[in-house]
Each structure stands twice: as structure tokens, then as C-alpha cells.
């Protein structure tokens, strides 16, 4: 017998940027790489501009994606996951035109994927001020399509996705979802007190607009949006559907829900 521990901790990083790990699927399929975003504060998605991977064998820290024109108001990236079967990472990305008047929000984000084994790179200046290489922007894969203009597009969403989680075979992705169109309607629709603010669906029985979080899945199937501008309205490589129904007042003893919570 020995009193020496079988395992011991090794500190992998010591730099000042954040190393925010998603709650699930942050390791590559071979267990050699960890994917993370550079938030130091969990709620600071809007102001975070980088996705990175760290190789635990070589200790290489590599820039995978960097936003353009990043400010405190967006676009923002984060909550990144590794495919369980491929060297592909998936993360939420704020809408690219985010600014002070139209900032990042839970209804203004979508899923981007990057193949981290892709060798097509270009030099960029990282947050440390040093020149690094990053996968070319045109190699980014737009996952969920987005269409916020009537009559809308089957397979496209009208809002923002989050908490992307891969199926075991890497083909399907589940996500939480907040609808941009309903959010705007809820803000612009007065409640029974005359207020024009977004409220929880159960807060006012007279309020008919349900603006709340739900859950969806996306699966392979190109979705083309008429008039796509690659900003507010985006083509996607996946076909998305919502799979939960939310109601204002769930009935006791049933499986009805008023909203989906967190992840």
C-alpha cells in the first residue's frame, strides 16, 4: 500500500483570459482537446469574442473563431460544444449587426459550427495582441436557419438558439429557443395594467402573448430563406423544429410547462 495519490491535478493554463467550459460535451471525441470560450463572467456572452481549443497532450492553445467588430453590445459568442463523432465544434453566435441600439439578446443569436481540423486559416490579432491563425470566416457553418420576416420559412426559426447539445451520433442537435417575433409582440402589447413590458405568461391572465423559452431540435436538411442577408435572416444547413409546447397556466398533474429552464 502507498499513501501517495494515484492521480494529481495539473494546471493547464495560467493566462488572464477566461476559460469557460460548457456544462456538457466540452471534450473532443478522442478526449485530447477541450473547447472553451473566453468569458471571465458567466453572463458576459454579449462581450465575448473568441472560441478556442486546448490540446491537453501538446498544451497547444488554438484560436478557432473570433468575432468581427466585437463590442460590449455584441455580437458575442459562447457556450461551445464538441461533436461526439467529429472534430467539429458548435457554439451560439450573436447576430452580426449587434450594436448599442440593437444589442445581443436571447432572441438574437444562432448556432455556428467550425471544423477544427480545417487547415484553411488566416492571421488575426487575438485578444492578447499577438498574431494567431484562425479558421477562415467563410468556413463557418451556419447551422439553424433564421427568418424573422413573414411569411417565414419552414425549417427556419424566428429567434435565438442556445444550449446546443449533440445527439450521440452527431447528426441531431437539441437547443433552447426564444422567439424574436413573439418577444417583440409581447413588448408592444399592453397588459391589463397598461404596461408594455415583457411579462411571464402566468403573470397576467389577460395577456395573450406568450413570450417564453422552449426547446427544439435540428437535423440535417438545408433550409434556404428567401431574401437571406446573412445577418438577420440566415440560410442554414439544418432543418429546425420546436418540440415542446408552453402554456400560460400549466394544469396540475399534467406534463404541461410554462417555460423551459436553462439547459
Distances in whole angstroms, Cα of residue 90 to Cα of each of 24, 87, 101, 137, 192: 12, 10, 27, 14, 41
Q: Does the residue 10 lie in any domain?
A: no
- Rounded-to-integer distance, Cα 236 and Cα 230, Å: 10
For residue 214, what are the β-bridge partners?
177
pLDDT at 201: 46
Of 115, 40, 39, 107, residue with least CA distance to 77: 39
pLDDT at 138: 47
pLDDT at 208: 53
pLDDT at 199: 46
Q: Does the residue 4 lie in any domain?
A: no
Name every residue whose Cβ is closer than 8 Å to that of residue 114 and which is 6 or more positions away in sequence: 51, 64, 65, 88, 89, 135, 139, 140, 141
Number of domains in the chain: 1
Q: Does the residue 248 lie in any domain?
A: no
Q: Does the residue 9 lie in any domain?
A: no
Report the chain (263 residues): mean pLDDT per 10 consecutive residues.
76 92 96 96 94 94 92 97 96 96 95 80 56 62 96 97 97 96 73 53 51 91 94 96 88 89 72
Identify the domain containing residue 101 by its residue range: 33-242
Of 66, 86, 75, residue with least CA distance to 25: 86
By the 8 A CB rule, do 158 and 144 touch? Answer: no
Of 56, 121, 115, residue with least CA distance to 85: 115
Residue pLDDT, tens place only, 97-151: 999 999 999 999 999 999 987 555 555 555 555 656 665 544 899 999 999 999 9
Of 178, 198, 200, residue with least CA distance to 190: 198
What grid cell was written down for 126? Answer: 487575438
Q: Does the residue 5 lie in any domain?
A: no
pLDDT at 132: 61
Count of CB atoms within 10 A of residue 257's CB? 16
Positive or negative, the CA dihedral 36, 40, 42, 43 is negative
pLDDT at 249: 81
Mapped onto helix, strand or coil, the DSSP state of residue 134 is: strand
Q: Does the residue 247 lie in any domain?
A: no
In terms of C-beta distances under 8 Å and separation of at least 24 residues, what long-range contacts does 91-97 make, across chains too? 91/37, 91/51, 91/65, 91/164, 92/45, 92/160, 92/161, 92/162, 92/164, 93/67, 94/45, 94/46, 94/67, 95/231, 95/232, 96/68, 96/69, 96/230, 96/231, 97/231, 97/232
pLDDT at 212: 81
Q: Does the residue 140 lie in any domain?
A: yes
Amino acid at each position: 500500500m502507498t499513501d501517495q495519490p494515484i492521480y494529481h491535478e495539473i494546471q493547464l493554463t495560467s493566462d488572464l483570459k477566461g476559460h469557460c467550459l460548457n456544462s456538457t460535451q466540452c471534450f473532443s471525441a478522442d478526449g485530447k482537446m477541450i473547447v472553451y470560450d473566453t468569458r471571465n463572467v458567466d453572463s458576459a456572452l454579449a462581450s465575448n469574442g473568441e472560441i478556442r481549443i486546448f490540446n491537453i497532450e501538446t498544451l497547444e492553445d488554438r484560436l478557432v473563431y473570433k468575432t468581427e467588430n466585437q463590442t460590449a453590445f455584441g455580437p458575442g459568442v459562447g457556450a461551445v460544444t464538441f461533436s461526439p463523432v467529429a472534430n467539429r465544434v458548435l457554439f451560439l453566435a450573436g447576430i452580426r449587426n449587434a450594436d448599442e441600439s440593437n444589442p445581443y439578446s436571447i432572441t438574437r443569436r444562432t448556432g455556428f459550427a467550425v471544423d477544427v481540423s480545417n487547415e484553411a486559416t488566416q492571421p488575426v490579432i487575438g485578444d492578447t495582441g499577438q498574431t494567431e491563425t484562425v479558421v477562415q470566416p467563410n468556413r463557418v457553418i451556419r447551422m439553424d436557419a433564421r427568418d424573422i420576416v413573414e411569411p417565414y420559412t419552414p425549417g427556419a426559426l424566428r429567434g435565438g438558439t442556445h444550449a446546443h447539445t449533440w445527439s450521440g451520433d452527431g447528426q441531431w442537435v437539441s437547443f433552447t429557443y426564444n422567439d424574436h417575433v413573439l418577444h417583440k409582440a409581447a413588448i408592444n402589447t399592453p397588459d391589463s395594467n397598461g404596461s408594455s413590458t415583457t411579462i411571464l405568461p402566468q403573470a397576467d391572465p389577460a395577456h395573450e402573448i406568450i413570450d417564453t423559452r422552449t426547446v427544439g431540435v435540428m437535423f440535417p436538411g438545408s433550409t434556404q430563406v428567401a431574401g437571406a442577408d446573412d445577418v438577420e435572416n440566415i440560410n442554414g444547413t439544418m432543418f429546425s423544429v420546436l418540440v415542446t409546447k408552453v402554456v400560460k397556466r400549466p394544469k396540475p398533474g399534467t406534463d404541461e410547462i410554462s417555460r423551459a429552464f436553462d439547459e
